[in-house]
Amino acid sequence: MARILIGYDVEIRGPWKKAFSRNPVSTALFLEAAKKLHEELSLPCTFFICGATLEENLPIFRALVGHPLIELAQHTYSHILLKTIVIEKEGTTDLHLGASLEQIEEEVNRTQEIFRQELGMECRGLTGPWGYYRGLKDRPDILEILAEAGIKFLRTDARNEKDYQPVPFENQPYFYALQGFPDLLEFPVQGWQDTYLRENCGWDNIVGFIREIKKGVDYIARGDLIWDYCQHDWTSIVNDPQMSIIRELAVYAQERGVKFDQYSSVYEEFISKRDGDTSERLNA
C-alpha cells in the first residue's frame, strides 16, 4: 500500500516572519492551524522543530507531547547545514557551506537536551536543514554524531545530483548499514519540497500547487511507494491560512487508497522486517 508521511520543518524564529513582504506568520499561528486541521481529518504528521524555535514556544509544544496524531522530532538548534550544497539552478550556481563537526554535535545535542528537560521525552528523529544529495551516505562521521545523540530516523536525502529538485520517488527509505549504523533509517524527501514548488507555481497559485502534488499522489499510488512529503511551518500558511493544500492532499490521497503514517511507526516496521527476514538486507 502506498503511504505518505507528512513532515513539517518548524523553523520560524522570533515572534513574526515576514513572508515575502506580506502575510506575517508565526509559529503559534501555524501550530493552531495545523493542530485543528490534523485533528479534524484524523491525519498523522510529524513536526521537525528547530531547538531555538522550540525554546521560544515551549508552552505550545509541551501541550503536544503524547498527541496521538502529532509526532515531535528535531531540525538542529539554529537550522545549520550538515553538509555543503552547491545548487545548480537555471544556469546559476549557488554555494552554501556546511557546518563543522563540532557545530553539528553541539547543535544536535543541545536540541536533544531541550527535548529531555523541557518536554520530558527522548527525540528520535532529525531533519537535516535544506537536505542533501544522497543524504549522509558519504558522511559516516556525521552519522556517528547523530547515532550517539540517540537519533534513529533521518530526513537528509532531499536533493538530486544538481543539489536541487525534484528527487525521484524511487528513492525509498534505507538503513545506513554499509556505513556502520544499521539502526539508522533514512527517509528520502522525494518530489519537490513545498518551498521550491510554491516558488515555481507562484505563491498566489494555490490551485496550481495542489494540481502538482496530486500528480505525486497518483505516481506513488501506482507504484505502492512511500512519499516523504516536506512542508514548512511558514510556507504552510502563507496565502493559505486554512491550510487548504494539506486538506486537498489528504482528501485526494485517501480517495486513491493512500494511507498516512508517521516516521516512528514506519521505522519500527522496517526494523521488524529487517530483524525478521535475514534473507534480505535493507541497507544503503
**Residue 197 neighbours by CB distance under 10 Å:** 19
Q: Model confidence at 283, in pLDDT bands (50, 70, 90)?
A: very low
pLDDT of residue 21: 58
Q: Is the dihedral of CA 210, 213, 218, 220 positive or negative?
A: negative
Q: Where do the domains of the chain lie?
A: 3-276
How wide is the angle at C-alpha 147 spanned by C-alphas 143 and 151, nearest 5°?
110
pLDDT of residue 190: 98
Residue 229: strand pairing partners: 6
pLDDT of residue 159: 98
Is the per-residue pLDDT at 284 higher than 60? no
| Residue 210 C-alpha from the chain's centroid | 19
How wide is the angle at C-alpha 58 spanned by C-alphas 73 and 38, nearest 5°?
55
pLDDT of residue 229: 98
Give me the CATH code for the 3-276 domain, please.
3.20.20.370
pLDDT tens for each residue of 151-172: 999 999 999 999 999 999 999 9
pLDDT tens for each residue of 98-108: 999 999 999 99
Mean pLDDT, to the nearest integer, of 247-275?
97
- The CA radius of gyration of the chain, in Å to the nearest whole number, is 18
pLDDT of residue 277: 58
pLDDT tens for each residue of 9-40: 999 988 888 876 567 899 999 999 999 999 99
Please list, in sequence order, all residues whose beta carbon lies within 8 angstroms of the beta carbon of residue 217, skipping any fewer than 6 positions away: 4, 227, 249, 252, 253, 256, 258
Distance CA 107, CA 197 (A): 29
Is the per-residue pLDDT at 225 higher than 70? yes
- Under a CB-based contact definition with an 8 Å cutoff, are residues 155 and 126 in contact? yes
Taking the model in full, what pTM does it have?
0.95
pLDDT tens for each residue of 165-202: 999 999 999 999 999 999 999 999 999 999 999 999 99
pLDDT tens for each residue of 96-146: 999 999 999 999 999 999 999 999 999 999 999 999 999 999 999 999 999
pLDDT tens for each residue of 34-55: 999 999 999 999 999 999 999 9
Nearest to 143 by CA among 98, 104, 107: 104
pLDDT of residue 18: 81
Residue appearing with cell numbers 532529525: 126
Alpha helix (H) residue ranges in the chain: 27-41, 51-56, 58-62, 101-114, 140-148, 194-201, 206-223, 233-237, 244-255, 263-276
What amino acid is encoded at 11 in this protein?
E
